Structure 1
Amino acid sequence: MNKLDKVLYTAKAHTTGGREGQSRTDDGRLDIKLTSPGGAGQGTNPEQLFAAGYSACFIGAMKAVAAKQKITLPADLAINAEVDLGPVGQAYGIAARLNVSLPGMDQAAARQLVDAAHQVCPYSNATRNNIDVQINLV
């Protein structure tokens, strides 16, 4: 297990009711209703939150790598993230796909950037060797 050298930030959320509940961060910036995937409720679900968090974090990692390598990223870069939920034996698990769009960027340079970002992204490091993660250039 990797230990943090230094804590830069701690996110805090209070959740009640599980997948049919509510979650709120301590600063009030996030206050959401939760609903199971495919449920009739109006809320989001943990898999959607994971998809949003992973894709946002991965873009941050790409920007950090690009800055170090003095690469200009396309202004309209985007990631369509997909998170699957399903059974794994007697338990449940997730799998993730990040479909990365870097319009106008050379494919070889884009692949190198994405591979480097996958090494520094906190979500990638947390999921590595734990779940199936695919990083696709689209």
Structure 2
Amino acid sequence: MTKIDKVLLTGKTHTTASKPGDHNSTVNLKLSGTGAKDISFEAIAAHPTAEQLFAGAWSSCYTLALGLAAEQSKVTLPGTMSVDIEVDLGIAGGAYFIGARFTVNLPGLEQDTASKVAHLADTLCPYSKAVHGNIDIDFTVNV
């Protein structure tokens, strides 16, 4: 897998579940449109980059997969769980690449249990499957 030498842009997300076991997710974006002065969607800067949109969609999908992985593993996710995803656009050897950093926070769970659930979610999430083996991903699980 090619590692990025120089990061050009980074899209960041921080996702929390509204309640343990909740399989619904909301992505709030602040967007602007031509001539649409009275329309506002909150959360990130106007004109989000592709990296922000990808990180937001991936984060939403992964968080739902985390709930499914916890159910399959008979584990209750902590109400304070969160997922941070950063997606980078960068250059290596004159070519453009994307890379990602995951930080899964599952306070109160044992490290081994948290890691198993987080990695199972990675195998269930369609976004994770789509990029598996194609981009460099750093994965951290905190308890």
Task: Tell me the amino acid that sits aligned with residue 45 of structure 1.
Answer: T
* Aligned equivalent of 1:127, options 115, 125, 131: 131
Contact 1:33 1:44 in 2 (8 A): no
Q: Verify: 1:92 aligned to 2:92, yes or no.
A: no
Q: What do residues 93-119 of structure 1 show as CA deviations (whole Å, max 9, x unaligned)?
A: 110111110011111100111111111
Whole-angstrom CA distance in 1 between matches of 2:130 and 2:95? 19
**Shift, 1:88, TM fit:** 3.7
Aligned residues: 104
Partner of 1:32: 31
Aligned residues of 2:81 and 2:106 also touching (Cα < 8 A): yes
CA distance in 1, matches of 2:80, 2:136: 27
- Give secondary structure in 2 for the equivalent of 1:79: strand
Normalising by structure 2, report the TM-score: 0.65
Say whether 1:80 aligns with 2:79. no
Deviations 1:47-100 (A, max 9, x none): 011111111111111101111222100111111111111124443111011111
Note the residue ranges of structure 1 that are not aligned, 5 or more in a row: 1-28, 35-40
Give the distance between the partners of 1:134 and 1:122, measured in 2 at CA. 18
Inter-CA distance 65–42: structure 2 relative to 1 (3 Å threshold): closer
Identity of paired residues, percent?
38
Let me know the Cα RMSD of the aligned residues.
2.2
Segments of 5+ residues of structure 2 without an aligned counterpart are 1-27, 34-44
Contact 2:100/2:137 (<8 A) preserved = yes
* Separation in structure 2 between the aligned mates of residue 132 and residue 83 of structure 1, nearest angstrom: 10
Residue in 2 that maps onto 1:66: 70
TM-score (norm 1): 0.67
- How far, CA to CA, are the matches of 1:33 and 1:134 in structure 2? 32
Question: Residue type of the partner of 1:95?
Answer: G
Q: 2:50 & 2:114 partners in 1: Cα distance?
A: 30
Moved over 4 A (4+): none
CA offset at residue 30 of structure 1?
7.4
Give the distance between the partners of 2:114 and 2:80, measured in 1 at CA.
14
Counterpart amino acid of residue 91 in structure 1: A
Shift of 1:135: 1.6
Using the alignment, how far apart are the partners of 1:59 and 1:108 within structure 2? 19
CA–CA separation in structure 2 for the residues paired with 1:59 and 1:126: 16
